[in-house]
Amino acid sequence: MKVVGVDLAGPSNHKDTVMAVFQHRGGKLELRNLESGVSDLSFLNAVEELSESDHVVIGIDAPLSYADGGGDRAGDKELRKYIVSLGMRSGSIMSPTYSRMAYLTLRGIRLTRELERLPHADRISIVEVHPGAAIGSRIDAGKFFHVLEYKKGRSSREFMLGWFKEQQLKGIPEGCKEESHLIDACAAALSAWHWADPELKSRWLYPADPPLNPYDYCC
């Protein structure tokens, strides 16, 4: 099984879009590729190639649906309550149709549509993830401040490198401490792995509710 974590940015912001590709083996994830500046086409081509020979699980950090009528989806409300209970800031969960989120939502929906059309779509599983919540729901209480600081603090990102090793994510390079989007892509993969692996479990899960919300939402 390949596990892909994607920290998605808006359609015009390839620079901040990161894809982390891991190989699942022996109860751990081994990094195979970490790429920044990912375009829609390069992402789809990569997944198509991976799916030719293996099952591919993709965790995407972006809204993959929106509420009919706008505002929060039911899952957004529930995840916001959950992260606040952990000690995280409520503002990290924004409505998919909010002005700052609308183009990101558009890109997320477009990519899932194209993934479903790939030749080996039956080997591809997709889940919406929240990397910050993935970290916050697993980290020790005494180290929780890193969850609140890693977006801006290099020392907290450096801490995350060791923490990922403890979570059995192997091979993540030291350079990841230089950019939070790299950390988020790896955390997206962590979420997707725990969602897909029958021996593991998501810390929080809002099930898909087709047709308007076709994908599970987890951390």
Helices of type H across 58-179: 74-86, 102-115, 131-136, 145-149, 154-166
Mean pLDDT for the stretch of residues 77-96? 96
Q: Is the CB of residue 194 less than 8 Å from the CB of residue 201?
A: yes
* Amino acid making up residue 71: G
Q: pLDDT digit string (tens) for 112-145?
A: 999 999 999 999 999 999 999 999 999 999 999 9
Give me the pLDDT at residue 93, please.
96
Beta strands in the chain, from DSSP E residues, in sequence order? 2-7, 18-25, 28-36, 56-61, 124-129, 169-170, 205-206, 217-218
- The mean pLDDT of 4-16, rounded to a whole number, is 96
Arithmetic mean of pLDDT, 15-22:
98
The residue ranges of every structural domain in the chain are: 2-218
- Average pLDDT of the residues of the chain: 97
Residue closest to 163 by CA, chosen among 199, 200, 136: 136
> How confident is the model at residue 199, as a pLDDT?
95
pLDDT score for 164: 98
Find residue 23's DSSP bridge partners. 2, 30
Bridge pairing between strands 169-170 and 124-129: unpaired
What tokens were used for 95? 């409505």
Percent of the chain with pLDDT over 70: 100
Whether the bond between 214 and the residue before it is cis, its omega within 30 degrees of 0, is no
3-state secondary structure (DSSP) of residue 66? coil
Is the separation of the CB atoms in 47 and 56 below 8 Å? yes
The whole-number pLDDT of residue 115 equals: 99
Task: Give mean pLDDT, residues 2-22.
Answer: 97
What is the torsion angle, in degrees rounded to the nearest 10, for the CA atoms of residue 177, residue 181, residue 182 and residue 184? Answer: 100
pLDDT (0 to 100) of residue 154 = 96
**Measured between alpha carbons, how far apart are the two ends of the chain, in Å?**
19
Share above pLDDT 90 across residues of the chain, in percent, rounded to a whole number: 100
139: its two tokens: 């980290």
Which residue in this structure is represented by tokens 């558009």? 106
